[in-house]
Amino acid sequence: MAKIAMYWGAGCGGCDVSLLGIHEALLDLLDVLEIVFWPCATDFKYEDLEKMKDKSIDVAFYNGAIRTEENEHIAKLLRKKAKLLVAYGSCASKGCVIGLANLSTKEDIFDAAYLHNESTKNPDGIVPQEKAGDLELPAILPYLKTLDQVVEVDAVIPGCPPPTPVLVEALNALLEGKTTFGKEVALCDECPRKDTKPDKIEITKFYRWHEKEDNGDCFLAQNMICMGPATRAGCGGECIAANIPCTGCMGTVSRVKDQGASMMSAIASLMEEEMDEEKERELIASIHDMVGTFYKYSAARLLPKGRLKDES
Amino acid sequence: MSFEPKIVAFLCNWCAYAGADMAGTSRIKYPANVVPIRVMCSGRVDPEFVLDAFEKGADGVFIGGCHPGDCHYVSGNYRTRKRVIMMKKLLQEMGINPARLRLEWVSATEGKKFATVIEEFVNEIKELGPSPEGE
Ligand code: SF4
Ligand code: SF4
Ligand code: SF4
Ligand code: FES
């Protein structure tokens, strides 16, 4: 019986649900594995984990990112106790949407969350404290970190959350001790709209997907940014099947390091070739949020120490 | 001691690199802060190279290519121009002054121009100071 652990770090919980979401496949897996730690689904305490022998867990999955001292502590503990440590999902591997928080300081985040926003009335200015009496909360780290920014990681299961086929393939591979799995082609390759992707695309204006009626063709051909060409296949084009362009949650194929840079490069090649510089500027200015568009899932990698502060 | 910026310059083989060479053979002086990297075409300069250079501590990144219409691969430099506009926007959002990235067209015969724009750029970066490092 392979011993496995699953931890929920700084994430939305969707990754935990995705593991339950493989349905019957989970029943088959339960025959060959033993869950020794999974706070979301079973009643284990941190002390139980601390008491385990080093390397006694065969595969430990870490989902969510690292935003608190507690997350960091458990990441290190799991590293010690497990033979294989796996970054499960986009938060753990790339920082994901919550990694966009690295564009703001911790103080700004607390201010927006607890003090100044449209839906909060907090006249006494009460903000959660790390210590109150004998109660203690884990400290929030200055910036969000991915798992591999803290400890060595043996394998990555991509996706926000990992789509079922990706997950089932990964789990089976990992239980056989394999740490590489998944497809090494771009999402366009398996996209339900791929037959409508023309050989030559000429972007003359950028539309956000609510700004234009979808004609059912490839989104890029409709001048809507779709991360498909820079995104790793595996989900089958879930979002596209729901008529939404891909935003890139699966990350990239392994030979590409920087998904955002790779997509920006692709977009520059798809814009009409000889437009004048003025028009180029105007067009690019209409992409409102470069980090949010091209680094939606990897801002924590782009800004590991937060937004920089250039003088002037 | 005055601040001597580190500048990475990606120069296309056919124009800007030849221009830099020309500056050298004509004994035109330009600041020694520049680390030239020869690429076949400015279009080879992936946005990733620029981010990598900054991550590794460059204070400025210079890209030199052929004048519009002169690219030996027809349209590489048009692509580069678009990428640079995008990169500047990204750098701004990241909190890096976009002036730290500069694109110039330099032909093989423009040794003088190469030296002038490099000098200008180095002075500009000296004004800006070192690249921000984060906490
Ligand atoms: S990767 Fe997505 S589903 Fe998983 S915890 Fe993060 S935000 Fe939630
Ligand atoms: S760009 Fe998007 S819509 Fe077009 S084929 Fe690729 S994944 Fe599908
Ligand atoms: S279409 Fe893109 S964003 Fe949607 S699930 Fe697939 S990879 Fe993720
Ligand atoms: S060959 Fe010089 S820019 Fe393309």
CATH code for position B51? 3.40.50.960
- Please give the Cα distance from B86 to A287 (Å, whole number): 9
Examine residue B88 and state whether it is found in any structural domain, yes or no. yes
CB-based contact, A288 to chain B, within 8 Å:
no
Examine residue B134 and state whether it is found in any structural domain, yes or no. no
- Please give the Cα distance from A124 to A110 (Å, whole number): 15
* β partners of residue B102: B62
Q: For A88-115, what is each residue's pLDDT tens digit?
A: 999 999 999 999 999 999 999 999 999 9
- pLDDT above 80 for A272: yes
Give the residue carrying structure tokens 């709209």.
A193
The token pair at B26 is 């004509």
Would the CB of A261 count as within 6 Å of ligand 1? no
- pLDDT above 60 for A312: no
What residue numbers bound the domain in which B57 lies?
Answer: 7-128
The token pair at A30 is 């339960």
The token pair at A37 is 């730690």
Domain spanning A2-98+140-175: CATH superfamily: NADH:ubiquinone oxidoreductase-like, 20kDa subunit (3.40.50.700)
Would the CB of B41 count as within 6 Å of ligand 4? yes
Domain boundaries, chain A: 2-98+140-175, 108-136, 187-273
- Please give the Cα distance from B63 to B71 (Å, whole number): 14
- Please give the Cα distance from A112 to A46 (Å, whole number): 32
Would the CB of A183 count as within 6 Å of ligand 2? no
pLDDT at B124: 97
Beta-carbon separation of B97 and A267 below 8 A: no
Domains of chain B: total: 1
pLDDT at A181: 97
Q: For A183-206, what is each residue's pLDDT tens digit?
A: 999 999 999 999 999 999 999 999
Examine residue B135 and state whether it is found in any structural domain, yes or no. no
Instruction: With beta carbons less than 8 A apart as the criterion, state whether A111 and A310 touch.
Output: no
Q: How far is the CA of B71 from the centre of ligand 4 (A)?
A: 4
Examine residue B2 and state whether it is found in any structural domain, yes or no. no
* β partners of residue B10: B37, B63
Instruction: With beta carbons less than 8 A apart as the criterion, state whether A72 and A9 touch.
Output: no
Beta-carbon separation of B89 and A287 below 8 A: yes
pTM over 0.90: yes
Q: For A131-142, what is each residue's pLDDT tens digit?
A: 988 999 999 999
Q: Is the preceding peptide bond at A138 cis, omega within 30 degrees of 0? A: no
CB-based contact, A265 to chain B, within 8 Å:
yes
CA angle A180, A296, A226 (to 5 degrees): 85
Beta-carbon separation of B83 and A262 below 8 A: no
Facing residue for B82 by CB, picked from A268, A302, A304: A268
The ipTM (two decimal places) reads 0.94
- Kind plus residue range of the DSSP H or E element containing B60: strand B60-65
